[in-house]
Chains A and B, each alone.
Chain A
Amino acid sequence: MKFISLVLRSLFRNTRRTVLTVLSLAVSVFLIALLQSLLGTMDSLTTSTASGTRFVVQDKASFTNTIPLAYSNFIRQQPEVEAFTAFQWFGGEYKDPKNFFANFAVDPETYLQVYREEANLASIPPVQVKDFLRDGNGCIVGRTLADKFGWKVGDVVPLKSPIFNLTLRLNIRIIFTGKRNSDEMFLAFHIKQLQEAVPWMKGRAGAFTVRARNPIDIPRLCERIDSHFANSAQETLSITENAFNLNMMKMLGDYSTMVHSISAAVLVAILIVTANTMAMAIRERTTQISTMRALGFRSGQILSLLMAEGLLLSLLGSGLGIFMAMAAASAAAKVGGEILPWMADFIITPETLFLCMLLTLGLGLLSTFVPAYRASRRPITEGLRSL
């Protein structure tokens, strides 16, 4: 510890070089932290605890097909089922196709039961719930979404769906505040609207969400439902909601391989840059180091002083990078959340912070070790010759 000022002095011996290296390190760590957190945020959608008790029943061939509502009779009879609802992706556009947000036609009463945590049912005024259930044109909207378009309770929202070639004018009856921002980028309305307007939707829905009393029952329940409909005209596929979300994410492509490869490439690049800086810094001080050794510093001490310098350099760089990433993440959550709903929950995750600390440690040690070791072993006489 008593050598800390010596390490600091050596580090800032060439201020410009140190600052430039710290900046290039910071920028790279910034990028890695953002990319890894992006991945972490996407993953967190597939490991939500509330959805652990729910599963989705869809058509086996494709989730774009509809299934008969009559199937629900069997499912509802199962003793492990606590609540059940049917929904259909509407794909409605508000004014412009670019204003993308998730909107579903749902069975209103059961929907609020199944998703009571996400919709925070307890906090909604009972009069609003009553209004929503009574008004066939009513809809429920998340707070973030409502704020984005400036909607208030009582407003009329026209939604045009290219899938059904149908435009609905919906009255906002509830604006709910969910647990996560991404849960709030969402609109749901009465499935009756769709079933009355579209002939082939009569008595059908896109999929069911089932809530089990106990998560342990889910695998058994899924199997029983699927085997019950196994030889019918439309077979079903029951999967947990997390697995369903995971499938959706997977369809986007193999982003995790991409992010990890980019992170690795960037790491190699900054390792090279930092190693070069440290090598330059140590080479310049050959005489100084020999003098110190002539004064009685042991080579182990020299080595650890130099290593501390390298560690400090990478610590400064990644500290700055993580700081910038945190600032950027909150800005990105605000802007990105309007384009991609799950971006609204974008934060630098603790796992990412831990990863960045580890990387910093490794980077500092790896980049400094070779030049530092050589400098600490160099014969004193040779180092002093150039004095």
Chain B
Amino acid sequence: MIWYLFIPLAPYLLWLVYAAGFFPLPLTYNWRSIWQRWAGTLSTVGAIAIVVMVFVVVLSMAQGVSTAYVRSGRDDQVVILRANSRVEMMSTLTLDQGRLISTHPLIARDEVGPLVTTDLIVSKQVALADGSGALSVTVRGTTAGGIRMRSQVRMLRGRWFQPGLSEAVVPQKMLNRYTGVELGKTFPMAGRFWKVVGVFDGDGSVFDSEIWTDVADLRQAYRRFSANSSMVVRLRSARDVPAFISDMEKDVRLKLEAKAEPDYFADLGDAGRPMQILGQIITVILTIGAVFAAMNTMYATVAGRTPEIGTLRAIGFRRREILASFQWEAILLTGLGGVLGAGLSLLFNGTRTGTVNMNTWSDVSYAFAVTPSLMGQGVAFSILMGIAGGFLPAWRASRIPVTEAMRG
């Protein structure tokens, strides 16, 4: 959205680009000038670097949440839920409905059988490793098909659960934040004891926030004998998705709702919205502050170089050339801060933390995702700061009367 801010500025920017190429005052002049007053330059660069860093890091959190959801879906898979239930946890799907759906001709098969899974979703309080309490974590009962269908999930240590033995597997990334679910440990849930027999990796998807176990075991423990939560099916090709969805919705026996997996997860990915909004508000406020600081530095630069400007004008440089030159100097100054800030934000890339998904009331673990696009936006912001903070001082520099300026 920041790019829209550049649209009204486009003519001015084009003129600046033209000025950089064709006006006689070279950019190296500005580059050297900013280091003449290195203390002022460094302080402005530092302040802007911090602002840009805060911007990129906060938005990288929101990005991290949606990345976790984007990684969870496959184009050729469809999630089937009870109509109007939005999330798996709120949905119910009977065993009969499940059997009926798995005979659909568009469903893909592998050597074992049709690629379908019926899952049961519950949640469980798991104690945090830092001893500060417990959070609600999603527990997914799934099938052997479900494991094969989530291709991003891979077993790291131990083995997958076996049906009938009350066994569970946990994601590696959960072990850093939670305790009591380590490999080999046993935890109570729904009146049974469950043994952790494996540790898996979900490659940054939402499955990194879920404990997995056998669906039939979980169903029995929770005494839900005839219904699961949801179903996921893989189709022969992603092109079949619309046809399959319309078949599901037309079938009056089912009264179910089908969604392509990427759409389903995209709807859930708005768990990062509060952070995104907070990040944008913070950025707008900080940007205003940074513009004032940049303006201050540029005014000081212009004041300090008044005789120099007078000399430039006296030897024939035109007003607009001075204007462009000082404007470029401001952009160099803030842009330097922006690049530094974007670089510093990389230090936070990959930090793992969690937030609640308001739709499921369960914890979602995610990693800060500092993407090139976010860093680019950060630098773009710093350039905007340079334009906003540098224009008035540059304008003033170009308007200083020659005689007065030479007098000092």
Q: Which residues of A contact B (CB under 8 A)?
A: 16-17, 20-21, 23-25, 27-28, 30-31, 35, 60-65, 160, 162-163, 165, 233-235, 237, 243, 246-247, 250-254, 258, 262, 265-266, 268-270, 272-273, 275-277, 279-280
In contact, B296 and A65 (Cβ under 8 angstroms): no
The 10 nearest A-B residue pairs measured at CB: A27-B289, A251-B356, A24-B292, A276-B43, A253-B355, A269-B50, A62-B123, A269-B47, A24-B289, A20-B296
Interface residues of B in 39-80 (CB under 8 A from A): 39-40, 43-44, 46-47, 50-51, 53-54, 58, 61
| Smallest Cβ-Cβ distance to B223: which chain A residue | A233
In contact, B51 and A277 (Cβ under 8 angstroms): no
Q: How far is the CB of B377 from chain A (nearest CB, A)?
A: 18
Q: Give the complex CA separation of A314 and B276 in angstroms.
A: 31
User: At the interface with chain A, which of B27-35, B131-139, B144-152, B310-318?
Assistant: B131-139
User: Beyond A30-B285, A262-B58, A276-B39, is A20–B89 a contact (Cβ under 8 Å)?
Assistant: no
Q: Give the complex CA separation of A266 and B58 in angstroms.
A: 13
Q: Please name 29 pairs of A and B residues whose Cβ atoms are closer than 8 Å in the assembled complex, sorted by A.
A: A21-B292, A24-B289, A24-B290, A24-B293, A27-B285, A27-B288, A27-B292, A61-B125, A62-B124, A62-B125, A63-B136, A65-B122, A163-B90, A165-B83, A237-B125, A247-B133, A247-B134, A251-B135, A253-B275, A253-B355, A258-B61, A262-B58, A268-B50, A269-B47, A269-B50, A269-B289, A272-B43, A279-B39, A280-B300
| Smallest Cβ-Cβ distance to A268: which chain B residue | B50
Chain A residue contacts of B43, Cβ below 8 A: 272-273, 275-276
In contact, B354 and A64 (Cβ under 8 angstroms): no
With beta carbons under 8 angstroms apart, the residue of B39, B125, B188, B286 that contacts A28 is B286
Q: Give the complex CA separation of A262 and B289 in angstroms.
A: 14
Q: Which residues of B contact A (CB under 8 A)?
A: 39-40, 43-44, 46-47, 50-51, 53-54, 58, 61, 82-86, 89-90, 122-125, 132-136, 188-191, 274-275, 282, 285-286, 288-290, 292-293, 295-297, 299-300, 353-356, 361, 363
Q: Give the complex CA separation of A60 and B132 in angstroms.
A: 17
Chain A residue contacts of B188, Cβ below 8 A: 61, 235
Chain A residue contacts of B356, Cβ below 8 A: 251-253
Interface of chain B: mostly helix, strand, loop or mixed: helix
Chain A residue contacts of B125, Cβ below 8 A: 60-63, 237
In contact, A20 and B288 (Cβ under 8 angstroms): no
In contact, B123 and A64 (Cβ under 8 angstroms): yes
| Smallest Cβ-Cβ distance to A160: which chain B residue | B84
Known pairs A17-B299, A24-B296, A63-B136; list 15 more (Cβ under 8 Å).
A17-B300, A30-B285, A31-B285, A165-B84, A234-B191, A246-B133, A250-B133, A251-B136, A251-B361, A251-B363, A258-B61, A265-B50, A269-B46, A275-B43, A280-B300
Chain B residue contacts of A62, Cβ below 8 A: 122-125, 136
User: Beyond A64-B89, A162-B84, is A254–B293 a contact (Cβ under 8 Å)?
Assistant: no
In contact, B50 and A276 (Cβ under 8 angstroms): no
Q: How far is the CB of A367 from chain B (nearest CB, A)?
A: 10
Q: How far is the CB of A228 from chain B (nearest CB, A)?
A: 16
In contact, A262 and B282 (Cβ under 8 angstroms): yes
With beta carbons under 8 angstroms apart, the residue of A254, A272, A280 that contacts B47 is A272
Chain B residue contacts of A273, Cβ below 8 A: 43-44, 47, 293, 296
User: Beyond A253-B353, A262-B58, is A31–B135 a contact (Cβ under 8 Å)?
Assistant: no
Q: Give the complex CA separation of A279 and B42 in angstroms.
A: 13
Q: How far is the CB of A338 from chain B (nearest CB, A)?
A: 14
| Smallest Cβ-Cβ distance to A28: which chain B residue | B289
Q: How far is the CB of B42 from chain A (nearest CB, A)?
A: 8
User: Beyond A253-B353, A266-B54, is A61–B124 a contact (Cβ under 8 Å)?
Assistant: yes
With beta carbons under 8 angstroms apart, the residue of A234, A252, A275 that contacts B355 is A252
Q: Give the complex CA separation of A35 and B286 in angstroms.
A: 13
Chain B residue contacts of A279, Cβ below 8 A: 39
Chain A residue contacts of B90, Cβ below 8 A: 162-163
In contact, B132 and A250 (Cβ under 8 angstroms): yes
In contact, B299 and A20 (Cβ under 8 angstroms): yes
In contact, A21 and B282 (Cβ under 8 angstroms): no
Chain A residue contacts of B44, Cβ below 8 A: 273, 276
In contact, B286 and A162 (Cβ under 8 angstroms): no
Chain B residue contacts of A277, Cβ below 8 A: 296
Chain B residue contacts of A247, Cβ below 8 A: 133-135
Chain B residue contacts of A160, Cβ below 8 A: 84
| Smallest Cβ-Cβ distance to B274: which chain A residue | A252
Q: Give the complex CA separation of A30 and B288 in angstroms.
A: 11
Chain B residue contacts of A258, Cβ below 8 A: 58, 61
Q: How far is the CB of B19 from chain A (nearest CB, A)?
A: 26
Q: How far is the CB of A94 from chain B (nearest CB, A)?
A: 15
In contact, B282 and A280 (Cβ under 8 angstroms): no
Q: How far is the CB of B355 from chain A (nearest CB, A)?
A: 4
Q: Give the complex CA separation of A65 and B89 in angstroms.
A: 11
Chain A residue contacts of B285, Cβ below 8 A: 27, 30-31
Q: How far is the CB of B285 from chain A (nearest CB, A)?
A: 5
Chain B residue contacts of A162, Cβ below 8 A: 84-86, 90
Q: Give the complex CA separation of A266 and B289 in angstroms.
A: 10
Q: How far is the CB of A15 from chain B (nearest CB, A)?
A: 11
Q: How far is the CB of B24 from chain A (nearest CB, A)?
A: 30
Q: Give the complex CA separation of A234 and B222 in angstroms.
A: 10
With beta carbons under 8 angstroms apart, the residue of B53, B82, B85, B134 that contacts A265 is B53
